[in-house]
Amino acid sequence: MHPQTHRSGFAALIGRPNVGKSTLLNQLTGEKLAIVSPKPQTTRNRILGVVSRPEGQVAFIDTPGIHQAKGELNRYMVDVALQAVDEVDLVLFLVEPVNTEKPEVGPGNRFILERLQKAGKPTFLVINKVDTIPKPVLLPLIERYRHEFPFAEVVPISAREDDGVEELFQSVLQHLPEGEPLFPEDVLTDQAERTLVSEYIREQVLRHCRQEIPYSTAVVVDFFDESERDPPPGAPQGKLAGLIRIAASIYVERDSQKAIIIGKQGQMLKTIGTDARKAIQRLLGAHVYLSLRVRVEPRWSERAAGLKKLGYE
């Protein structure tokens, strides 16, 4: 018998904000690599998630939502997403359906399709959130998009419900070149633990704070002490062992935003810290001591120097 063909390559998740790219990445990898919230523009950087199987390996790249860029931070996010298109073997263009018999592509998605035309990469149309619409609506939507672009495949899924995700993975694999694995089998992401920690904290800011706060927020891990991460010999074995001490700064742009995040008698910051600590402990598999402080960096999202200082470069 001939050995099974092994395929490998990179696939980018591209689309408008809030179409479910990060939810799909987490579902594909089986791990929470990308934070998720109902607020647009939650993802700010590219996030690598590697799925390794005996038949092949796919390195998926989650990207920020492509939107009308106003300000330095928004332009940075759109540039990150569009650059990823040029670096992959395959593009997964995610859209969400609308419950109408005469669907329109819309200017935002048309802009993305124009960029994909120029890139010339094989592209899947991935229609996410199909659990939210009647099935008869899908066909006219597919036909409308096929008039706009020569998609290699059209795959309806529900990333949240894990419906069609495995079928999508297998289709992606068949469109990648034959080759050896690009990463060791035990590699899941290139995200450092410090980066994941900062994102988990920012996720809680997104979850708990008012609409205008999240877009002006960035999180920087200032201190990450693992010296007590390994429990001493003879220590009782449990789900969590050892201790990691973390200090992080939540940056905002105005004093009024700082006051909101701290909250009355510090209650909001305490809530953010408590929920973030629980998520970080699950991530790191150790007890976590988390110290948070809020700092003001005026207009950081509008200045190149501000972006660089807070890690967006």
118-136 per-position pLDDT tens digit: 999 999 999 999 999 888 8
In a domain, 245, yes or no: yes
**Is residue 225 domain-shared with residue 131, that is, in the same domain?**
no
- Please indicate, yes or no, if residue 201 is contained in any of the structural domains: yes
Our count of domains for the chain comes to 2
Q: Choose the weakest-confidence range: 31-35, 211-215, 301-305.
A: 211-215
Whether 52 and 164 map to the same domain: the answer is yes
**Do 151 and 15 reside in the same domain of the chain?**
yes
Same domain, 42 and 80: yes
pLDDT tens-digit series, residues 190-230: 999 999 999 999 999 999 987 667 778 999 999 999 999 88
Confidence of residue 98 (pLDDT cuts 50, 70, 90): confident
Per-residue pLDDT, 224: 97
Q: What is the mean pLDDT of residues 291-303?
A: 95
- The answer on pLDDT for 240 being more than 80 is no
Confidence of residue 238 (pLDDT cuts 50, 70, 90): low
On whether both 14 and 134 belong to a single domain, the answer is yes
Q: Is-contact 24 157, C-beta < 8 A? A: yes
The reply to whether 1 falls in a domain is no
Percent of the chain scoring above 70 in pLDDT: 96
Q: Is 234 exposed, middle or buried (0-12, 13-18, 19+ CB in 10 A)?
A: exposed
Cα–Cα distance for residue pair 81/95, rounded to 1 Å: 15
Q: Are residues 239 and 151 in the same domain?
A: no
Same domain, 144 and 202: no
Question: What is the average per-residue pLDDT within 150-172?
Answer: 96
**Sign of dihedral through CA atoms 231, 235, 239, 245?**
negative
Does one domain contain both 253 and 209? yes
Can you give the pLDDT at residue 237? 62
88 and 11 assigned to the same domain: yes
**Antiparallel, parallel or unpaired: β 56-62 and 90-95:** unpaired
pLDDT reading at 236 higher than 70: no
pLDDT higher than threshold 80 for residue 145: yes
Enter the tokens of residue 145. 């998009």
Q: Which amino acid is at 99?
A: N
Confidence of residue 1 (pLDDT cuts 50, 70, 90): very low
In a domain, 179, yes or no: no
Domain enclosing residue 156, as ranges? 7-174
> Of 50, 16, 31, 30, which Cα lies nearest the Cα of 129?
16
Q: What is the CATH number of the domain that holds 36?
A: 3.40.50.300
Tell me: do 285 and 211 sit in the same domain. yes
Q: Which residue has the higher pLDDT, 79 or 235?
A: 79
Read off the pTM: 0.91
Place 234 in a pLDDT band, splitting at 50, 70 and 90.
low
Of the residues 142, 174, 206, which one is the last residue of a structural domain?
174
| Mean pLDDT over the full length of the chain | 91
Tell me, yes or no, whether 271 lies in a domain: yes
In a domain, 146, yes or no: yes
Please, which pLDDT band fits residue 239 given cuts at 50, 70 and 90? low
Same domain for 296 and 212: yes
* Residue 20 domain-assigned (yes or no): yes
Tell whether 166 and 207 lie within a shared domain. Answer: no
Q: Is 157 exposed, middle or buried (0-12, 13-18, 19+ CB in 10 A)?
A: buried
Domain CATH code at residue 266: 3.30.300.20
User: Quick check: is 116 in a domain?
Assistant: yes
